[in-house]
Amino acid sequence: MKQQLTAKLKLKTTPDQFALLRQTQLAYRDGLNLVSRYSFVHGKTSNALRLQQETYQDLRSQFGLPAQMACNIPRQVGATYKGLWTKWRKNQEARAAGRTKKRFKGLDEPPTYVSPTLTYSYGRDYSLRVGQEVSLLTLQGRLHVSYQGYHKHVALLQDGAKVGAAKLWYDQPQKHYYLLISLEVEVPEIAPQTPQTIVGVDVGRRYLATVTTSTNQTQFYSGKEIRAKADHVARLQKRLRQKGTRSATRKRILLSRRERRLKLNTNHTIAKGIIDTHSYALIGLEDLTGIRERKPRPKKRRHGLKLLPLTPKQRKANHHASKWAFAELQGFIAYKAVLTGSLCIKVDADYTSQACPKCGHVARENRPNKGLLFVCQHCHFTLHADLVGARNVCLRTLLIRQDWVSTGVLSVRSDVSDYEAKTARLQRYTGLRWSLDTSSPPLGGE
């Protein structure tokens, strides 16, 4: 089995090398914007071959780009337009189904590339040399630059891991260049008998992750601190937007980058804590695809002929929902798990926070006021709501493990439609029960 990694290498450049890399980056960005405008004028095409045939000579003559870079630019622009067309089609489907009234505006004008990040092709634009050096292509020829990086990634580069394309990224606050190299490493295949532990992970906003095992080992990762910091940044951003000066805009950019780094580090820390605690495990994650579209959010209310504005509490809830980085956290858990002999799978997230793990009763009323206390309206079982969600995810993961052992196939193969298959799975989930023999005492008693 293969796993993709990204090695982040810090380049030790001289002032002359720094200037050449900067010149190459800006020329590459200008080339991206040229091809983007051409594609927009000619039917917003995403055909990379057509874009390359029509713009290759202009890229070489106007910006002096090397041949391979002049080929990479149309591919990157074509991929951008392809993604925009995919979003446009999904928006059309959502509008036809009545899920939204908003029109997708991403194709109203040509995409503008602001970041000067450029793409290098391995073996053509860049190559690795002995002694922790890398050879990079610029507008003025090759540069040999020494680098430093995470010792495990450097070892993979030197031990013959499959190396792919790289991106030259400029860290503007620190005035440093980094080379982000794509690596592909071989990891052993996971057999049905390999996982020794079944783990369920429930992600959320008040608790970023709640983890439990089939033997009731529990971990809580609170999001209180990071939410407080994010709310503080949001208040600063609002004041800076109202000020509207150039210095305020620069400060807003710095704040947004700081917030992004904070959440990135938090997600990495949580993922590492989960993986280090549970090795050789089958980890169940909720399939939350499209949750922002499915989950209702507070909207303006009509009062007669007027639209009442959102209350501060509703605006804060919308802000928290839009800043919820659950996909990033799940991605970190998934790739770290494979490297340590574990495996992550996605399970249906339907009713995980509403289903009682003791009697199976499903109702919204089991979560009074959508709070953190779960109270079953049928058997009066009481427990932390996020822990209930993690237990339900763990039960569904255990069911998939049993099917995997009996059939030898991890994914369910069925001839029925996705809707019918999901309905059948949800019906099977209603029969799952959590054994309370090894459970800790629930909140408030049973």
**pLDDT tens digits, residue range 330-387?**
999 998 998 888 899 999 888 898 999 988 889 989 988 888 899 999 898 999 999 9
pLDDT exceeds cutoff 60 at 29: yes
CB neighbour list of residue 151: distance below 8 Å, 6 or more residues apart: none
List own/partner pairs for 99-105 with CB under 8 A and 24 or more apart.
99/293, 100/293
Residue 129 backbone phi and psi in degrees, to 5: -120, 165
Which range of 90-94, 314-318, 407-411 scores highest in mean pLDDT? It is: 90-94
387: left (phi over 0), alpha (psi -120 to 50) or beta: alpha
Which amino acid is residue 249, in one-letter code? T
State pTM to two decimals. Answer: 0.82
At 148, phi and psi to the nearest 5?
-140, 155
Provide the CB-side half-sphere exposure for 394 (13 A, CA): 25
- How far is residue 69 from each of residues 118, 140, 178, 301, measured CA to CA in Å? 9, 13, 18, 52
Distances (CA, A) of 265 to 24, 108, 180, 272: 31, 35, 18, 10
Report which secondary-structure segment, H or E, holds 126: strand 126-129
Q: How many residues does the chain have?
A: 446
What distances in angstroms separate CA 41 from CA 35, 37, 46, 47, one per listed residue? 10, 6, 12, 14
- Minimal CA–CA distance to 178: which of 130, 131, 117, 239? 117
- The better pLDDT of the pair 389, 196 is held by 389
| Dist CA 198 CA 349 (whole Å) | 17
Closest of 305, 385, 286, 384 to residue 344, by C-alpha: 286
Per the CB < 8 A criterion, the answer to whether 250 and 362 are in contact is no
Name the one residue in this structure whose structure tokens are 């793990």: 357
**Could you read off the pLDDT of 281-340 as tens digits, one per residue?**
999 999 887 666 666 565 656 555 566 777 777 776 666 666 678 889 999 999 899 888
The pLDDT mean for the chain works out to 87
What residue type is assigned to position 70 of the chain? A
Tokens of 73: 């630019």
pLDDT band per the 50, 70, 90 thresholds, residue 248: very high
Map residue 134 onto helix, strand or coil.
strand
In the predicted structure, residue 211 carries a pLDDT above the cut 60: yes
Say what the pLDDT of residue 446 is: 30
pLDDT of 121 above 50: yes
Is the model's pLDDT at 90 over the cut of 70?
A: yes
Predicted pLDDT of residue 219: 93
* pLDDT per position as a tens digit, 72-88: 999 999 999 999 999 99
Tell me the mean pLDDT in the region 112-133.
91
Comparing CA positions, the residue from 10, 27, 61, 58 lying closest to residue 138 is 27
Query: Cα dist. 91→29, 103, 104, 322 in Å?
Result: 29, 7, 6, 18
